[in-house]
Structure 1
Amino acid sequence: MDKKATRKSPRGDSRRRAILDSALRLFSERGFNSASIADIAADVGMTQAGMLHHFPSKAALLLAVLQEREERNQKAKSESLERGFDYLSTFLRTLHTNERTPILVQLFAILSAESIVQDHPAHDWFVERYREVAASMTSELAAVFDQSKLPAGMTLEAFARWIIAVADGVRLQWLLDPTAVSRETSMIQFFTILRPYMRDPDMHISLDEPSQEKRR
């Protein structure tokens, strides 16, 4: 029985991969509500019943697509930090990597906007995702900013939410007109405004490889 399952696994993984890739593309082009199970099944050459064997519902497929994107970003983030990049440079590198696949950026922008409606299947996922990102970034920024330098009433969580908001806002402008704005440049300029509050105001924030000294 194990051998039989092993023989079937590669084919099943291949079909699952094809479904995810198709859903990613169609959701990003049409939005979740306009891309149907029938559209995705036809795109990958499967019956709807066959596709639902891998993903029991359209909502389950949507969440799988979103989760895969997050897992890719988390993996890239971990690898960047391990290579010696500071947190803000790692943030820039994640944006830069995502922009190499505009369809993923577009997918996230469309679905995050659609999910504002509370009965959208990704509503809770996005609410929790932003909570987790804000909490994680707030924690990471403690090593970047000197809280004693912050203006009265200002918190690291506020800085975190500003960074997220600027990145999201510039993302929308970049998607509408890629020639109008650079997310990398915009974020570096924003970080420059925040330098007076950093522990090391001269910290080098960029996509460049960290020096050998910093890697040690």
Structure 2
Amino acid sequence: MVGASPKGAARREEILNGLTEKIARQELRNPSLREIGRALNIEPAHILYYFNSREDLLQSVIMRWDEDARAAVHPDIVTLDKFAEQLRRNIAIPGVVHLYLNFAAEAVDPRHPAHEFFRLRFDKVAVNLAQRIREEQAGGTIRAGVNPESSARQLIAIADGLQLQSLVNANINSVKDMFDAIASLRV
């Protein structure tokens, strides 16, 4: 991999962190490679030394956001309520949510470089949510007739839809609405 040396890895991280920060603050929206270079004060060709393409760089931003989100929640205490609470964190970084939603929409094309990332991410989140639903069913807090797999996919769709709506209208209380969706599953 290009930039695999410690100095190269550090430079790659510097580019990734700088772009993530600018996108999170909504300083860049669907930026071209030239705009990214200008914002980071780096030649586009230099960016391409560390990332295969603009899409590779933007996917790296989304992957970093996803890793940070997972790290913020201890895996042993993941709950449906923590899933809802993640929306609060996401809404605080609207530029990254905008990038995520745009990239997810583009990645429906199997040839898109992020297609497999999103497919695996949706599968992993659905499996985790379905497991949480089963656990709550066993504990008697979610109705036995609720289909865990279907409900998990619905919760993901609701979360993504609420985040989109919050980008369009900042007055929407997406976190409350997500908690309401989860409450509708409970006894």
Answering whether residue 128 of structure 2 is matched by residue 136 of structure 1, we say: yes
Query: Matched residue pairs, number?
Result: 181
Corresponding residue of 2:174: 183
Partners of 2:27 and 2:99 in 1: how far apart? 6
Q: Select the structure of larger CA radius of gyration.
A: 1
Aligned counterpart in structure 1 of residue 35 of structure 2, from 33, 36, 39: 39
Corresponding residue of 1:71: 67
| Unmatched 5+ stretches in structure 2 | none
Answering whether residue 46 of structure 2 is matched by residue 54 of structure 1, we say: no
Instruction: Report the CA distance shift for 1:160/1:28 in structure 2 as closer, same or farther (over 3 A).
Output: farther
> TM-score, normalization: structure 2?
0.80
Is the CA contact (8 Å cut-off) linking 2:19 and 2:40 kept in structure 1?
A: yes
Deviating beyond 6 angstroms after TM superposition, the runs of 4 or more aligned structure 1 residues are 5-9, 23-28
Corresponding residue of 1:100: 92
Partners of 1:28 and 1:112 in 2: how far apart? 18
Q: Residue type of the partner of 2:33? A: I
Aligned counterpart in structure 2 of residue 150 of structure 1, from 127, 144, 148: 144
| Unmatched 5+ stretches in structure 1 | 197-216
Answering whether residue 159 of structure 2 is matched by residue 167 of structure 1, we say: yes
1:90-119 CA-partner distances (Å, limit 9, x unpaired):
112211111111112222122212222333
Kindly state the Cα deviation for residue 27 of structure 1 after the two structures are TM-superposed. Answer: 10
Corresponding residue of 1:115: 107
1:111-134 CA-partner distances (Å, limit 9, x unpaired):
212222333222222122111111
